[in-house]
Amino acid sequence: MTKVKRQLLSGDEAIALAALRAGVTLGTGYPGTPSTEILETYARLGGRAQWAPNEKVALEVGAGVAFARGRALVTMKHVGLNVAADVLFTVAYSGVSGALVIVSADDPGMSSSQNEQDNRRYAVAAGVPMVEPADSQEAYDFTFAALEMSERWGVPVLLRLTTRVCHAKSIVADGRAPLPAVAPRFERNIPERVMIPAHARPAHRRLRQKLAEIATWAETAPLNRRTAGDGRLGIVTSGVAVMHAREAAPQAALLQLGVTHPLPLQLIRDFAASVQECVVLEEGDPYLEEALRAAGIAVRGKPAGYRFGELNVARTRRILAADASPEPAPARGKPPQLCPGCPYRTVFTVLRRLECIVSGDIGCYTLGALPPFEAMDFQTCMGASIGMGLGLRHTLPADEARRVVSVIGDSTFMHSGLTGVAEMVYNPPATGHVLLILDNGTTAMTGQQEHPATGRTLNHEPTGRVAIEAVVRAMGVPQVDVVDPMKEAEFEALLRERLASGRLAVIVARRSCILAAGAIRAYEKAAAARSQPLGGCPADAATTTTGETEG
């Protein structure tokens, strides 16, 4: 019998612990708030985890693990699922032989994101089951449940979280017995694994049959919980909104949905019929409300204004009271800004001075759009800076087009910038183009994670390194320079020259992140010490990495 241990954990930590206990074969993902801590914790606990260049690759690797009967945990923030969606929709058809659980950590209120999309819509669109924990204990339990569902029905399962579930801490009873171990094995099954149209058509029918079976199972599944109330008010809810409902209306009957796709409609219909008024309480889009109304269940949703941002107890009370009056304005906080000593401060100072039109990207350097720099003109999603800058170059009059610069960080470049360079070389604008890659040796925005261009694994151990400047040269960019952006005059002179050249140019502005520099030096020192034979010199690879990262 497994001894139960109680500990205070965040939802992210609870998922990592459950993955370890359940025998997950591999955890893979791309760092993104609020999901980053899952794989970091999983690795710290002794699990096998790795960062992928982007979410699509992570899901591809996870699918491969599950094709070989392994158990895969793939983590990402909500916008990451946009990148991975191409894989998701077809792996739902092909199915898996092991377990494939995809964690989507949504960010209502956009504390660190460019939008607040509600990824529950993806479960419906892709046709995959979805579970939503409300606290850390459920994050732990539902990770087990998601792995079991994936193995039982041979489908990917979406484990959907939101910021408060990811980061808030609550007690977790860690006592689940591990799932039975399964020996990895690949079984050839071309009709189920090769999604040509002839195979995909029956695969779609198999997927819908699986969803129908899961819907029947969900009607009595322990993941959905019903709490009795005084009969006047019933609340249908899921995720962190469960906690707000319990505090705001303790007298109300509660139906907490742990399985939110496919929905247990008969369970919900019976619950709604048992109370005088039934309210749907949910964070984000009216996903549940619309589904229940479409099924003919009489429920009241929230006023439109509560679609924005996170819920809390005060907002929940207003929703239950159908209060649509304007909410009090939140207190103004201190606007974020680039760190003192950040090498990007010089970069944006120069870009502003040269009156460049800057096509920006996702990362802490996006703060270059704010005062005092105000030197980034648009930013959309990971990797878009290159293509959008090229579009501007193709369109603007020549004198104006020559002012356009695409700016992207090193981790973002590895994530989705390479295809932008291919486009740049393949369809060069008449005025050329200048791509500025800000290489600070880490994924700074999400907490200093590694990526393929740092040459270190998730655990900061040495591994193969992608040399950015070598890659862009090999792709056909004729002018490639590596500079230290802190040498302002030198950097400005080079940028002026490349803008005037009318050719394709990449400038790698390399200087370690001011917050990560100490840790990077420590990693490199440890790596050099390990590679040095007794009485000999450090290996060439370690010496090269040190020199290039330090700039």
Tell me the per-residue pLDDT of 34-75, one tens digit each, with 9 for 90 and over: 999 999 999 999 999 999 999 999 999 999 999 999 999 999
Half-sphere exposure of 286 (CA within 13 A, CB side): 17
Q: Which residues of 479-507 are buried (b: 16+ CB within 10 A; e: fewer)?
A: bbebbebbeeeebbebbeebbeeeebbbb
Q: Tens digits of per-residue pLDDT, 427-452?
A: 999 999 999 999 999 999 889 999 99
Q: Tens digits of per-residue pLDDT, 370-412?
A: 999 999 999 999 999 999 999 999 999 999 999 999 999 999 9
Over residues 72-80, the mean pLDDT reads 96
Cα–Cα distance measured from residue 369 to residue 42, given in angstroms and rounded to the nearest whole number: 35
Residue 540 has pLDDT above 90, yes or no: no
Nearby residues of 319 by Cβ (< 8 Å), 6 or more positions away: 279, 281, 302, 303, 306, 311
Query: Residue 103 is encoded by which pair of tokens?
Result: 């964690």
pLDDT > 70: what percent of the chain? Answer: 96
Nearest in space to 16 (alpha carbons), one of 52, 57, 49:
49
Enclosing H/E stretch for 128: none
Three-class secondary structure of residue 442 per DSSP: coil
- Is the bond preceding 34 in cis, omega lying within 30 degrees of 0? yes
Residue 541 has pLDDT above 90, yes or no: no
Residue 237 has pLDDT above 60, yes or no: yes
Which of the pair, 315 or 531, is modelled with greater confidence? Answer: 315
Cα–Cα distance measured from residue 47 to residue 59, given in angstroms and rounded to the nearest whole number: 18
Using pLDDT thresholds of 50, 70 and 90, give the confidence band for residue 550: very low
Please state, rounded to an integer, the average pLDDT across all residues of the chain.
93
Q: Tens digits of per-residue pLDDT, 310-352?
A: 999 999 999 999 999 999 888 888 888 899 989 999 999 999 9
pLDDT at 543: 36
Query: Residue 65 is encoded by which pair of tokens?
Result: 């693990």
Decide: 186 and 67 in contact? Cβ < 8 Å: yes
Decide: 157 and 146 in contact? Cβ < 8 Å: yes
Cα–Cα distance measured from residue 524 to residue 461, given in angstroms and rounded to the nearest whole number: 9
What DSSP string runs through 305-338?
Answer: GGGSS---HHHHHHHHTT--SPPPPPPP-PPP-P
Over residues 181-195, the mean pLDDT reads 91
Query: Model-level pTM?
Result: 0.89
pLDDT > 90: what percent of the chain? Answer: 89
Strand order in the sheet with 479-483: 357-359, 404-409, 433-439, 504-510, 479-483
pLDDT at 539: 42
Decide: 136 and 172 in contact? Cβ < 8 Å: yes
Q: How many residues does the chain have?
A: 551
Over residues 486-503, the mean pLDDT reads 97
Enclosing H/E stretch for 26: strand 26-29
- Which segments within 115-206 are labelled E, that is strand? 130-131, 157-162, 169-174
Three-class secondary structure of residue 12 per DSSP: helix
Residue 544 has pLDDT above 60, yes or no: no
Using pLDDT thresholds of 50, 70 and 90, give the confidence band for residue 1: low
pLDDT at 548: 35
Residue 545 has pLDDT above 60, yes or no: no
Pairing of strands 26-29, 49-51: parallel
Pairing of strands 479-483, 157-162: unpaired
pLDDT at 111: 82
Strand pairing partners for 76? 104
Cα–Cα distance measured from residue 23 to residue 181, given in angstroms and rounded to the nearest whole number: 7
